[in-house]
Amino acid sequence: MELGEGILTLRPLEGKLTRDTEVLGSMSPYLTFTFGGKKYKSKVHDNAGKKPKWTDEFVFEIESVEDEMTMRVWD
């Protein structure tokens, strides 16, 4: 294995969101990850509000220290 190669296991646990985007009801947030030209999505945490919790697990094969990941929280 060369420098920068390996496996990354990502387990998002919880979020602490700063604002509520819903006028009525609670937010149902989910996460998206973009890595290696592919997009991944977590499960939606229904009615979680500003403190969602997730149990998803994502496994990424890292080929270079130059690889970048983008994570976003959506409602």
Indicate which CATH number applies to the domain containing 64.
2.60.40.150
Neighbours of 3 (CB within 10 A): 7
For residue 27, what are the domain limits? 6-74
User: What is the reported pTM?
Assistant: 0.81
Cα(34)–Cα(72) distance, rounded to whole angstroms?
9
Q: Classify residue 42 by its DSSP letter.
A: P
1: in domain = no
Q: How many domains are there within the chain? A: 1
65: in domain = yes
Nearest to 34 by CA among 75, 11, 68: 68
Cα(65)–Cα(73) distance, rounded to whole angstroms?
24
Which amino acid, one-letter code, is at 10?
Answer: L
* Residue 3 pLDDT grade (very low, low, confident, very high; cuts 50, 70, 90): low
Q: List pLDDT tens digits, range 6-41.
A: 899 999 999 998 888 877 888 999 999 999 889 999
Size (the chain), residues: 75
Residue 4 pLDDT: 66
